[in-house]
Amino acid sequence: MAVSLPTYPVSEILPPLAQALERGNRAVVSAPPGAGKTTLIPLYLLDQAWRGDGRIILLEPRRLAARAAASRMATLLGETVGDTVGYRMRLDNRVSAKTRIEVVTEGVFARMILEDPELSGIAAILFDEFHERSLDADFGLALALDCQAALRDDLRLIVMSATLDVQRVAELMDNPPVLESAGRSFPIDIRHRDRPGTERIEDTVTSAILDAHASEGGSILAFLPGQAEIRRVAERLEGRLPASTLIAPLYGNLSQAEQDQAIKPAPAGARKVVLATSIAETSITIDGVRIVIDSGLQRLPVYEPATGITRLETTRVSRASADQRAGRAGRTEPGIAVRLWHAGQTAAMPAFTPPEILASDLSGLVMDMAHWGVTDPAALSFIDPPPAAALKEACSLLISLGALDSQGHLTAKGKTMRGLGLPPRLAAMTLAAALEGQSKAACEIAVLLTEQGLGGNDIDLDDRLRRFRSDRSERASAARKLAERLARDLPKGTASPSPPLAGPILLHAFPDRIALKRGAPGRYVMANGRGAELAQTERLAASDMLIIADLTGRAAQGRILSAAEIRLADVEDVLPETIIQGDESFFDSASGQVRARRVKRIGAIVLEETPLAKPSGEAATRALAEGLRQLGLERLSFSKSGEQLRQRIGFLYRSLGAPWPQVSDEALLDKLEDWFIPYQTGVRSFAEISSGGLMDGLKALVPYELQRDLDRMAPTHFTAPTGMNHPIQYDGDEPKLTIRVQELFGLKTHPTIGGGRLPLLLELTSPAHRPIQTTRDLPGFWAGSWSDVRADMRGRYPRHPWPEDPTQAAPTTRAKPRGT
């Protein structure tokens, strides 16, 4: 179909893009904000011969951007969304048999290709705003490249971005043509306004908005790190702007209607102040905005594999994001961007926002890869490979949920879980709850936890569940329909006789986050050993036990974001296997000793305990080893020879590397099972630790074939020409020998260790043992500065020999006889 397109900066690269896709099947497009790539490129490709009747899929990072892009393209065609151009997302689809351009969110595309690896009926995939580097985008591109290489060499792949690490993307795609569009349509005046160190960001943003509103015309877009800051700025602006200026928040938790309201142009004669998160950085145009206020901050999720917790961290934006934000001011006319940091700080910002794949829970990715038939991520083309620690944790979780077997392949249960399209924990929860006749409630809870803001933002999930069920908004209705569809796909169990509560159902998803109150109200310890807390004013703070669905913050004390009340009886009924009873030894940090007890526990939560007699044997040693991990290696008292042995081994590791072992505090704490526990059997306190056992354990870390070389490579002493033995010091950066200079007379080569490869640092002393010279080249010292040292020392120590040529003199430890 012939399409008459408006002229934008990106228009200049459309013909060469068409030529590139005629000759090949891949291209990279770099176009600054306002260039028109999101709207014009998909429409232009409609008329290409290679498309035939195939659909064009345009990927967008967010639902707001997807709806906005589809709406702009449909308007240019004089149609409504759902005709030639439509969109597809989790809770909202607008497509028809006539649709040839589908704008989809990145997560939806990943499911599309996983369900249909050949991408039947699809002619081209356009990855828009790829610089955001979401996990779904990285995975989607890896799958599309795999599909193109193995099944669909006629499939066109185009990666597009406003700010893009072009070289890395091009290399990943085997260096296809790279097309760069001209810059933004209108100039932007970038100004800086430094924020005082003691001033809250919302106060600085408020002041900047008021000043810009008073001195400049046009609407204002202010970027803030999160919803809380947006709310506080809105409160501060209330009553301080004219009634004709509208204040419009814009963030992910808002309904579609509220988001659409924020991006609509202000009514005639009015102005608008839009308070937005990073959601407004890309792919949307807010008509009338010519002033951007940039806080320079963003809130990013950071996953910690060791705890299974994803926390939100406020960080500086990247330079690429700062450019994206400033570009919003020049979309429709010349604009102004006010950056709330010193101009010199821009250079210190990272070039790009870190890819999500490096700081995410990878359990869903691992399950999807297994469905694709891949157990090793190296088999797919990722720009940044998934981190090994997060992969290992993801595999362990999926195996524990019964989704993967030991070889990393999907089980029958895993296939059912993956088909639900939920995070693995929640998928496992809905399956287990369905067998108990609670599928509907479980699916409602799963939707609540994956769609932010539904049912409000209360921590108590039972309260949110009640509000969600009675919410008549369009978004809530769509979410309930999704929950109903999920429930229909689950096995049917015996109906529950009483209305289900959230807590017992959540046990199936988060057994490691069962939490028991400790100390003050609102403070809990979880089964995984981590702490968690909520405000004492929260109703749940009075609960003895909780099941925590979401929390943030550092591992030692997370802040609870959503939870439900449970009883011990719920755990006994739903997960009896998590309650363990038995005898155990443990380290009592208060007394510094190992004790024994009979306990009833859920992971790290001790429910009941009875003291037992003092433990002995390996169990006692293992408990003391845990004490070492808690308190540090400084609690050990190495003998003088033991400390020197550790320093000698450490020197060889630093100088020669493996297989000589690393013996730093961190390394030794990691290897207590190898060198401490086997050589300290039965010790129950630090006072009982054998120094000889410590030394034997350190020797055992040295591979057997190297043990005989230890004394040769790093000897304890140096035998001087006089026959005297002098200790070599290994406690510094390099081994050092302190020796009186007269004992080295006659020595023509420099003393070495490490099989002759490593020179000793010589600290030469006077007869009074005071340093007179430090050298790593004894022959050079004899031939050079010795004459100056000799001249100085002869007067001070006349009774000691100071020969002109020390290489020909006899070594000595004595002074000259009297009278000579």
* pLDDT score at 182: 78
Q: What homologous superfamily is domain 188-356 in, according to CATH?
A: P-loop containing nucleotide triphosphate hydrolases (3.40.50.300)
**Is the pLDDT reported for residue 185 higher than 70?**
no
Q: How does 237-273 read in b/e, with b if 16+ C-beta sit within 10 Å?
A: beeebeeebbbbbbbeebebeebeebbeebeeeebbb
Q: Which helix (H) or strand (E) holds 271?
A: strand 271-276
Q: CA–CA separation, 754 vs 142, rounded Å?
A: 49
Confidence of residue 314 (pLDDT cuts 50, 70, 90): confident
With a CB cutoff of 8 Å and minimum separation 6, the contacts of 371 are 114, 410, 415, 418
pLDDT digits (tens, 9 = 90+) for 39-81: 999 999 999 999 999 999 999 988 888 998 999 999 999 999 9
Question: According to the 3-state scheme, what is the secondary structure of 161-230?
Answer: ECCCCHHHHHHHCCCCCEEECCCCCCCEEEEECCCCCCCCHHHHHHHHHHHHHHHCCCEEEEECCCHHHH
Confidence of residue 756 (pLDDT cuts 50, 70, 90): confident
**Nearest 5 degrees, angle CA 489-CA 493-CA 496?**
120
Confidence of residue 790 (pLDDT cuts 50, 70, 90): very high
Residues 209 and 57 sit within 8 Å (Cβ to Cβ): no
* pLDDT score at 370: 95
Query: pTM score > 0.95 for this model?
Result: no
Q: CA–CA separation, 12 vs 15, rounded Å?
A: 7
3-state helix, strand, coil in the chain (%, to 5): 40, 20, 40
* pLDDT score at 265: 84
pLDDT digits (tens, 9 = 90+) for 208-252: 999 999 999 999 999 999 988 999 999 999 999 999 999 999 988
pLDDT digits (tens, 9 = 90+) for 511-561: 999 999 998 899 999 998 889 999 999 999 999 999 999 888 765 678 899
* pLDDT score at 497: 60
pLDDT digits (tens, 9 = 90+) for 412-422: 999 999 989 89
Confidence of residue 196 (pLDDT cuts 50, 70, 90): confident
pLDDT digits (tens, 9 = 90+) for 631-665: 888 888 899 999 999 999 999 998 888 899 999 99
Pick among 3.40.50.300, 3.40.1160.10, 3.30.70.930, 3.20.20.210: CATH of 9-180: 3.40.50.300
Question: Residue 280 in 3-state DSSP?
Answer: helix
Domain residue spans in the chain? 9-180, 188-356, 361-419, 430-574, 633-711, 715-808
Residues 119 and 155 sit within 8 Å (Cβ to Cβ): yes
pLDDT digits (tens, 9 = 90+) for 663-691: 999 999 999 999 999 999 878 888 888 89
Q: Given this chain, do its domains 9-180 and 188-356 carry the same CATH topology? A: yes
Question: Whole-number mean pLDDT of the chain?
Answer: 90
Mean pLDDT of 289-297: 94
* pLDDT score at 230: 94
